[in-house]
Amino acid sequence: MRKPPAPQPEAGVAAADEDVPAAATADLDAVGNAQGRADMARTRAATVDRAAARRLVDSVCHQFDIPVYVLHDFDPSGLAILKSLQRSTDRYHFRNKIEVVDLGLRLADVEEHDLPAEEFPYRKGRPPLNNLRRNGATDEEIEFICGDDDAGQRVELNAFSSSALVEFVEAKLAEHDVTKLIPANNALLEAYRGAWRRQQFNERTREISSALADEVGRLELPPDLAVQIQDLLESEPELSWDQAIAQLVKTGGAR
* String of DSSP letters for the chain: -PPPPPPB---EEEEEETTS-HHHHHHHHHHHHTS----EEEEEESSTT-HHHHHHHHHHHHHHT--EEEE--BSHHHHHHHHHTTS--SS---SS---EEE-S--HHHHHHHTPPPEEEEPGGGS--HHHHHHTT--HHHHHHHT-SSSEEEEB-GGGS-HHHHHHHHHHHHHHTT----B--HHHHHHHHHHHHHHHHHHHHHHHHHHHHHHHHHH----TTHHHHHHHHHHH-TTS-HHHHHHHHHHHT---
- Asked whether 67 and 61 are in contact (CB, 8 A), the reply is yes
State which of 124, 157, 182 marks the end of a domain.
182
Q: Output the domain CATH number for residue 178.
A: 3.40.1360.10
Tell whether 141 and 192 lie within a shared domain: no
Tell whether 131 and 161 lie within a shared domain: yes
Angle value at C-alpha 111, between 132 and 40, nearest 5 degrees: 75
Of the chain, the end-to-end C-alpha distance in Å amounts to 61
Tell whether 84 and 154 lie within a shared domain: yes
- 254 found inside a domain: yes
State which of 130, 161, 182 marks the end of a domain.
182
- 4 found inside a domain: no
- 198 found inside a domain: yes
- 50 found inside a domain: yes
Please report the pLDDT score of residue 2 as a whole number.
42
- 234 found inside a domain: yes
Look at 231 and 47; give whichever has higher pLDDT. 231
pLDDT (tens digit per residue) in 140-174: 999 999 987 788 999 999 999 888 988 898 899 88
Average pLDDT over residues 65-78: 91
Which residues form the domain of 211? 184-218
Tell whether 195 and 172 lie within a shared domain: no
Tell whether 23 and 80 lie within a shared domain: yes
Average confidence score pLDDT of the chain: 83
Tell whether 95 and 128 lie within a shared domain: yes
- Asked whether 170 and 31 are in contact (CB, 8 A), the reply is yes
Tell whether 151 and 43 lie within a shared domain: yes
- 3 found inside a domain: no
- 6 found inside a domain: no
- Asked whether 155 and 74 are in contact (CB, 8 A), the reply is yes
Tell whether 140 and 108 lie within a shared domain: yes
Is 0.85 surpassed by the pTM of this model? no
Q: Residue 20: pLDDT above 60? A: no
State which of 182, 199, 232 marks the end of a domain.
182
Q: Which residues pair with 93 in a beta bridge?
A: none
Q: Residue 8: pLDDT above 70? A: no
Number of domains composing the chain: 3
Tell whether 206 and 250 lie within a shared domain: no
Tell whether 138 and 204 lie within a shared domain: no
- 98 found inside a domain: yes
Tell whether 132 and 154 lie within a shared domain: yes
Tell whether 228 and 157 lie within a shared domain: no
Whole-number percent of the chain with pLDDT over 90: 51
Burial class (CB in 10 A: 0-12, 13-18, 19+), 183: middle
Average pLDDT over residues 80-87: 90
Place 31 in a pLDDT band, splitting at 50, 70 and 90.
very low
